[in-house]
Amino acid sequence: MKMTIASSLLIQELIINTDPILSTTCVYTTSSAHYIRKKMNTSDFKYLSESAASVEKNANRKGRPHNERFPFQQQHPHATTHLMMKYSQLHVPILYGPQIPRQDRDDTRERCSRALLTLFVPWRTVTDLCSANQTWEDAFKSRQHIISVHSWKIIENIQLLHECKKDRDEHLLQVIAEAQVDNDAIDP
């Protein structure tokens, strides 16, 4: 996953944030439901300064409801300038960079386990994902029960995409081999 400024801020906020709402969700789920807003404006400050009771009171008002806002914790480097906002609708996060490795190959299973743990298990420190005396594969097996049903569908789709690419490549090699046989059969 390529780290853009927004994605690194999001992960940094997830690690530092102590808000119970955000501390129990994984990186993938949080990034599909929230985004980083770079410049806070007066309405953001007003929204954040209102108490929970007045927010409930405003829920009965007409018009489009406010998107939920989550301030960064004070120890966060962008606590005074940025905030996290909830999308009106869920989005599909786009993962940049190298693809998640295949689960079914021995040589990539460790990297795959590490990537899946990072994306789909709630964590704040590396030890939440994998202890020092544990392999990433063992850590993934011991934490599988934490992964949501929705996240398992995404993981299965990632594996299915790998299988489709493998089948496509095998079919392409077969077509090329048949074309070479046909070309060899033609007499110049």
Task: Indicate the number of domains in the chain.
Answer: 2
Among the three residues 86, 120, 146, which one is the final residue of a domain in this structure?
A: 86
- Please tell me whether residues 82 and 113 are part of one structural domain: no
Closest among 4, 2, 15 to 128, alpha carbons compared: 15
pLDDT in tens, the chain (188 residues): 444 545 555 565 555 554 555 677 888 888 888 877 777 777 766 766 664 445 556 656 677 777 777 777 777 777 778 878 888 888 888 888 788 888 888 888 999 999 999 999 988 788 889 998 999 999 999 999 999 999 999 999 999 998 898 889 888 998 888 888 777 666 55
81/116 same-domain check: no
Domain assignment present for residue 44? The answer is yes
Co-location of 12 and 82 in the same domain? yes
19 plus 58 within the same structural domain? yes
* Chain-centroid distance, C-alpha 151: 10
Radius of gyration for the chain, computed over Cα atoms and rounded to the nearest angstrom: 23
pTM for the whole structure: 0.71
CA distances to 16, 67, 102 from 158, rounded to whole Å, are 29, 31, 8
Q: Which domain holds residue 79?
A: 5-86
